[in-house]
Structure 1
Amino acid sequence: MRAIVIFDGDCGLCNGFVAWLLRHDRAGRFLIAGSAGEVGRAALEASGLGTGIAASSIVVWDGGAGRVRTDALVRIARDLPWPWRAAGTMRIVPRALRDAVYDQVARRRPRRVADDPACGIPPADMVALWRSRLATAADVTALAGDTPAPRT
């Protein structure tokens, strides 16, 4: 099942993570959306989390409840190939402890102004892949259970 990763397009760490994810998600299980864009905001609303959460946390939404912080990272790891899937074992660490570490990293993350924070800043060698994985309003609707999303 596909999921949408919603991230802060002005966050250097978030952009770097999304680039890493796209390089390792060979099966194309994850779509991406910047939290400042219409699609990202729609996905956040559909997830039940509200639009403010993505300013300080990466969010993964697959049609059910949205996952944030380390729960989002565990969800991502679960769908990646080995050896990255092994990172999902971090779920054995109590959530309060893992999220405290996550929050400390998030407070120190580098900020950079994106031309379009709705979709972030792709590395030059990844522009085509990045654009091909941008979620659409149809993807949000499909995950919400209304209709299948057409993908080309």
Structure 2
Amino acid sequence: MTSIPAPIWLYDGVCVLCSGGVRYTLRHERDHDIRFVAIQSQEGRALAQAHGIDPDEPDSFLFIEGGLALAKSEGVLALARHLNGPVRLLLLGRALPKRWRDWLYDRVARNRYRLFGQKTSCDMPDPATRHRFTLPDSP
């Protein structure tokens, strides 16, 4: 039996909006299996570069699930499917054309530091969830 790898969220660890999203996800996720990788980490930089994202000027997060790397609005929708609570209303966005969703995503992403703030370093996860902030070792 082959196990399905846990989803991975590559996020901007110094972005206040992104870090808040990680905290929200930890409180509201359904299966408690998402792995979180800050783009500022060594493994995050490598993962970003492997998927065509500049780790020094990230314009998107990635949500990697089932071997697919989903960026921008597709990544947001994939993440929302793993959550409970009001964020699931974002799933209604599937009714919009992808280019409209991505246009909106790009506006928020481009202005995220100005609108929400930027930290000087990534948050340290609490001991109970720290194991989920690294990628599992490859077999």
Unaligned runs of 5+ in 2: none
The Cα RMSD (Å) is 2.3
Looking at structure 1, the residues matched to 136 and 83 of structure 2 have their Cα atoms a distance apart, in angstroms, of 25
**Scaled by the length of structure 2, what TM-score is found?**
0.78
Which amino acid counterpart does residue 134 of structure 1 have in structure 2? Answer: F
Unaligned runs of 5+ in 1: 115-119, 142-146, 148-152
Does 1:112 pair with 2:99? no
Identity among equivalent positions (%) equals 28
**Scaled by the length of structure 1, what TM-score is found?**
0.72
Partner of 2:78: 75
Residue in structure 1 matching 2:63, options 60, 77, 82 = 60
Looking at structure 2, the residues matched to 71 and 15 of structure 1 have their Cα atoms a distance apart, in angstroms, of 19
Q: How many residues align?
A: 130
Task: Report if aligned partners of 2:30, 2:82 keep a CA contact under 8 Å in 1.
Answer: no
Task: Report if aligned partners of 2:53, 2:59 keep a CA contact under 8 Å in 1.
Answer: no
Partner of 1:16: 20
Looking at structure 1, the residues matched to 128 and 28 of structure 2 have their Cα atoms a distance apart, in angstroms, of 12
User: C-alpha deviations, 1:66-95, integer Å up to 9, x for none?
Assistant: 111110011111122355444323122111
Which amino acid counterpart does residue 94 of structure 1 have in structure 2? Answer: P
Looking at structure 1, the residues matched to 17 and 86 of structure 2 have their Cα atoms a distance apart, in angstroms, of 21
1:82–1:10 distance in 2 versus 1, CA, 3 Å:
closer
- DSSP-derived class of the 1:108 partner: helix
Partner of 1:36: 40
